[in-house]
Amino acid sequence: MVTVFKDFDVFVEISLKEDCMYENIRGLSFAQISRFVELKVPTLNARTKTLFKDEELIRGKTNKVLLKPEQVKTVINDQINDCNGKVIYIGNLKGGVGKTTIAYLLADIVSSLGFKTCAVDLDVQANLTQQFMEAKVEQPTFCDVIDNKINIKDIIINIAPTLDLIPSSLKNGIIQKSLLTQAPKHYLTWLNSLCLTYLRSKYDIIIVDTPPSLTTLNSVFCLCLKNNDHLVIPACADEFSIVGIGMFLEDVNLIRKSYKTTSKPKTSIIMNRFHQNQTLNLQMFVKMSKTYEEFFSKIVIKDLAKIREVTSNKTSISETKHSSELFEILAELLKEFNIVKTVS
Ligand SMILES: Nc1ncnc2c1ncn2[C@@H]1O[C@H](COP(=O)(O)OP(=O)(O)OP(=O)(O)O)[C@@H](O)[C@H]1O
Ligand SMILES: [Mg+2]
């Protein structure tokens, strides 16, 4: 049978829209929120009733209350830490280890919990950007800020009520060249005044996704990390990942040492895309945990079809059904990054 699309333009328009758009976060249910904090559904319900009028609440298809990001933050206020412009920098020289995936999932969940979030895409391939919007070459990006053509404020794009994005595009490929031709600078002061001081003052959490390479801009970002910030190194169970972590850490240490930086951002190497039934994966896991004992996180993210589904559909995880394993991983990450309080 041959299908003829009479309204082909309409079909293409709808398909493209569905493919390219991140669904705006509508809200989290009490059951979803309770997975991230130590509060049970009845407690969340009772707190909501005392804090908000019925007409201020939105409801889902089954009449369930869905809390908007700002409402979630108010209800769970005693369960979360003040993040005050915390930078979560995600890097590894090895490609395909899940840097962008973790950046996306994290940006989605922390913004849904009401944290004012800025996702920063530093990868020329613009994969994180494309999770949220269409990446356009003419879009103003970081390279325009570095060339002093635009202020950082003017490249920020609003994605959802508590989520903004600094997009990337192929144009960012000239950053390295541009930095080489500029006058020598004190990079710490330079990056802070160029963007970081502003971003830290405006957002609770800044999530930085990076390319699988060691660029000057990436090294300078690591140089500027403070005590409350977090350096996240996703890795897969293979030899290249072990080497990639080593080279990445060496680069970070080199620039921080040369500036005599004393701050100590927390570092977590997180095993991702793990296949627990594969012997080679287990052997590599043991090798990696011994090599980088000091930084090796107890969080292990399995290779999950659900993760691929969420990222390829570009949906918010709050819209995803049967995702308890994914929620568990995110709950652990929120504790690891000191965003949600842990029970002592
Ligand atoms: N835990 C996981 N389970 C299943 N699939 C995963 C998982 N983590 C990442 N992936 C998939 O692995 C692929 C690579 O992930 P991703 O693009 O996030 O890696 P990356 O480190 O950002 O890569 P690059 O260095 O090229 O930017 C993607 O197809 C993603 O959907
Ligand atoms: Mg990536």
Count up the domains in the chain and report the number.
Answer: 1
The pLDDT of residue 125 is above 60: yes
Whether residue 5 lies inside any domain: the answer is no
Q: Is 300 in the pocket of ligand 1 (CB under 6 A)?
A: no
| Nearest alpha-carbon partner for 215 in 93, 89, 88 | 93
Domain residue limits at 235:
80-336
The pLDDT of residue 269 is above 90: yes
Whether residue 122 lies inside any domain: the answer is yes
Provide the 8-state DSSP code for 125. T
Whether residue 1 lies inside any domain: the answer is no
Instruction: Please give the pLDDT value at position 2.
Output: 40
pLDDT in tens, 310-337: 999 998 888 888 889 999 999 999 999 9
Q: What is the mean pLDDT of residues 74-80?
A: 97
| Percentage of residues in the chain having pLDDT higher than 70 | 92
- The CATH number linked to 294 is 3.40.50.300
Do 88 and 226 meet the contact criterion of CB atoms below 8 Å apart?
no
Q: What is the mean pLDDT of residues 9-22?
A: 44
| 310: its two tokens | 């969420």
Instruction: Please give the pLDDT value at position 13.
Output: 44
The residue to mutate among 100, 269, 313, having the most atoms of ligand 1 within 8 angstroms of its beta carbon, is 100
Q: Is 303 in the pocket of ligand 1 (CB under 6 A)?
A: yes
Whether residue 128 lies inside any domain: the answer is yes
Whether residue 207 lies inside any domain: the answer is yes
Instruction: Please give the pLDDT value at position 22.
Output: 61
Where are the strands (E) in the chain, listed by range?
Answer: 58-59, 65-66, 86-90, 117-121, 157-160, 163-166, 205-209, 230-235, 266-274, 296-302
* pLDDT range class, residue 25, cuts 50, 70, 90: low
**What gap in Å lies between CA 170 and CA 174, rounded to an integer?**
8
Q: Is 101 in the pocket of ligand 1 (CB under 6 A)?
A: yes
Whether residue 7 lies inside any domain: the answer is no
Q: Is 123 in the pocket of ligand 1 (CB under 6 A)?
A: yes
Q: Is 272 in the pocket of ligand 1 (CB under 6 A)?
A: yes
Ligand 1 centroid–CA 166 distance in Å is: 20
Instruction: Please give the pLDDT value at position 23.
Output: 61
Q: What is the mean pLDDT of residues 28-49?
A: 96
Sequence letter at residue 33:
I
The pLDDT of residue 150 is above 90: yes
Lowest model confidence (mean pLDDT) among 22-31, 71-80, 192-201: 22-31
pLDDT in tens, 169-182: 999 999 999 998 98
Instruction: Please give the pLDDT value at position 130.
Output: 95
* pLDDT range class, residue 24, cuts 50, 70, 90: low
* pLDDT range class, residue 87, cuts 50, 70, 90: very high
| Count of other CB atoms within 10 angstroms of residue 260 | 6
Whether residue 46 lies inside any domain: the answer is no
Instruction: Please give the pLDDT value at position 3.
Output: 43
Q: What is the mean pLDDT of residues 271-279?
A: 92
Mean pLDDT, all residues of the chain: 91
Q: What is the mean pLDDT of residues 140-158?
A: 94
The pLDDT of residue 292 is above 50: yes
Instruction: Please give the pLDDT value at position 329.
Output: 96
Whether residue 59 lies inside any domain: the answer is no
